[in-house]
Structure 1
């Protein structure tokens, strides 16, 4: 596997010089300055690629070229946005950037309720608390019909929480779920937007008539449209699993399990239609056997995210050490080193540790935490390669 790192462009406080020193080989990035739906200009792509290469690295993966919401819910501007997407893919192909990670999650990308859940050793990591999320859903968004998505026991705990929640805690929950974990990912909502709850509810309303089958068909439509471009320019599209891999906020989620992945890969059965194997996202669902998924879909995996989670029976989960948790990363490394040794891999969502806390890094994307994770995974890779040689 190629050791890559998600880097947020020239303004990222983590520099390419730093990454070269810690053994990174490839960069995972995007043209973050380009608004969703606009065409990625060839000159801008070439400039980013040349900048990365000037540090002895390569632009391995685009993460991501965002799929606009209107493509997902089939708005009237869908076809025009897909044409723009195809033009961006053509320009990436011309520049020699051949792997694109994307997601098809409506409205909201990855979801956490706590960005700095403390561990006993003084580090912290991302955390999902189902009851706090249900409180956000029922009492802050006040989504119609939300109560039907939770058990009576869960709603009782939500009501108990409502009695003690302070305004500061409510504001922090909104900032965590809607703003901080979304703005740098998909651009739907960004820092400084006024009344993010109203914006968020407006986005949710766009999907009122879209069920699971409808969203699947919209994904099929999108993939069918772009695959000829991917064939011509040898571009691998790799869809990211839903995070977490279950239904939320009344929205359909269609990349949650083996059956979902199998449906997508056969909906447009083209080798350029592939998977981002995100071990962390998949491991957050108790229904998923992550190593079994890796063995089943390794040949259609174009990009790997290595992280792990610990999950409680109640549905809460925390980002675990890369040496622990449900993802079983040691076994995953063995599988991917054997089945697809040239696949780009990045460690994902490191802990907040040492002096990371005051650097203003994007949530989950600390320097020292990911550097530790990279060292741990690099050790796994060395063992797996040695086993394959013996």
Structure 2
């Protein structure tokens, strides 16, 4: 697989030549300064493509060309938003960029409750605590009907937490769930926004009456509108699995596992309609067998995210080392190295290592932690390629 790296543009403190020096081959990035729903100008795409090429790398994957909330929930102006999306795809196609990762998650992109969970080795990792999330949902967000989504045992634990939680912890939960993990990705809420909880409630309110079937119908409407342009330029559109892969905050989720992915890939019969195979997101759902899914969807996968989690019966999960956890990455690598060796891959959500602390990286996107993960993954890839060469798999 092609070794790629998510890079956040010219303001990223990690330089392209630095990435070239550690074995990165392709760059995963986006025009982060363009507001969601607006057209990506062709000249800006070309300028960034050429800047990346000047460092001896290529712009391999767009992650992401965001699908506006209005497209997801079906706003009155969604056809205008879809036309802008088509024009942006055309501009990317003319610039020679052939892979576009996106998601169809309503409002919230990925969810963690702790961005600095200590590990025994002295590093930090990302963590999801179901009780703390339930506390946020029921007590901070105060979402109507939230209690129906949790068991009596979980609600009792929320009450216990409410008796001891500090104001600082409340503020940190808001910052983690609403701001830190969202602002640099989907732009719905950004650092410095006043009263992010009220803004978040407004975003959630747009999905009142939108159930799973309606969201599926809106996905189909989206894909039918954009797939012809993607086909014309040979672009692979690859939807990212939901993270975590189950319903949260009363919102429907439609990319949670086998049944959903089967439906999505058959909803619009187009070679452009494909999958970002994120082993980490899928592994945080106990219902998913990640290597089995890799084998099932390899031929429709345009992009691979390699990370892993440990998920627990109580609903908690933690980012695991890339050599461990439910992602079983060496088995996933065997599938793709044998069947799709040309597909781009990036390591995802690296540890925050001591040398990364205080350097201002986006959550999950440390330099040393991802470089360490890249070394682990390259080792697994080398072993798998040897197995293939020797005919052992």
TM-score with structure 1 length normalisation? 1.00
**Aligned partners of 1:247 and 1:144: how far apart in 2?**
16
**Deviation, structure 1 residue 354:** 2.6
Instruction: Provide the residue aligned with 1:222 in structure 2.
Output: 222
Q: Aligned-pair distance for 1:118?
A: 0.2
- Give the equivalent residue in structure 2 for 1:250: 250
Q: Give the Å deviation of 1:120.
A: 1.1
Q: Match of 2:118?
A: 118
What residue is the counterpart of 1:360 in the other structure?
A: 360
Give the equivalent residue in structure 2 for 1:190: 190
Q: Which residue of 1 aligns with 2:29?
A: 29
Q: Deviations over 1:64-85 (max 9, x none)?
A: 0000000000000100000000
Shift of residue 269, structure 1, vs aligned partner:
1.5
Q: Deviations over 1:179-209 (max 9, x none)?
A: 0000001000000000000000000000011
Report the equivalent of 2:179.
179
Q: Distance in 2 between matches of 1:175 and 1:358?
A: 17
Match of 1:164, SS? coil
> Counterparts of 1:376 and 1:312 in 2: how far apart (Å)?
24
Long gaps (5+) in structure 1: none
Within-5 A mapping of 1:88-107: 88-107=88-107
Counterparts in 2 of 1:231-310, with a 5 A limit?
231-310=231-310
CA distance in 1 between partners of 2:103 and 2:67 (Å): 7
> 3-state DSSP class of the match of 2:44?
helix
Map Cα deviations across residues 226-248 of structure 1 (whole Å, 9 max, x no partner). Answer: 11101111111000000000000
| Structure 1 residue aligned with 2:329 | 329
**Alpha-carbon offset, residue 129 of structure 1:** 0.2
Contact 2:130-2:316 at 8 Å conserved across structures = yes
Instruction: Report what 1:45 is aligned to.
Output: 45
Secondary structure of residue in 2 paired with 1:51: helix
For each residue in 1:110-135, what CA deviation from the matched residue of structure 2 results, as whole angstroms up to 9, or x when unmatched? 00000010011110100000000000
Q: C-alpha separation between the residues in 2 aligned to 1:231 and 1:371?
A: 34
Q: CA deviation at 1:275?
A: 0.1
SS of corresponding position for 1:5:
strand
TM-score, reference length from structure 2: 0.99
Q: CA deviation at 1:270?
A: 1.1
Cα distance in 1 for residues equivalent to 2:18 and 2:151: 48
The DSSP-based 3-state class of the residue aligned with 1:355 is helix
Per-residue deviation at 1:277?
A: 0.2
The separation in 1 between residues aligned to 2:161 and 2:296, in whole angstroms, is: 42
Find the aligned partners of 1:285 and 1:177 in 2 and give their Cα distance.
19
d(CA) in 1 for partners of 2:359 and 2:17? 17
For 1:245 and 1:228, how far apart are their aligned partners in 2?
Answer: 29
Aligned to 1:316: 316
Provide the rounded CA distance (Å) in 1 between the counterparts of 2:226 and 2:315: 36
Please give the residue correspondences for 1:3-22 in structure 2 after superposition, counting only pairs within 5 Å.
Answer: 3-22=3-22
CA distance in 2, matches of 1:289, 1:295: 10
**Distance of 1:68 and 1:290 partners within structure 2:** 29
Matched residue count: 390
Secondary structure in 2 matching 1:191: coil
Partner of 1:372: 372
Distance 1:188 1:196 in 2: 10
2: CA distance between counterparts of 1:326 and 1:228? Answer: 37
Q: Could you tell me which runs of 5 or more consecutive residues in structure 2 were left unpaired when the two chains were aligned.
A: none
Q: CA RMSD in A?
A: 0.4
- CA distance in 2 between partners of 1:168 and 1:382 (Å): 46
Whole-angstrom CA distance in 1 between matches of 2:389 and 2:166: 58
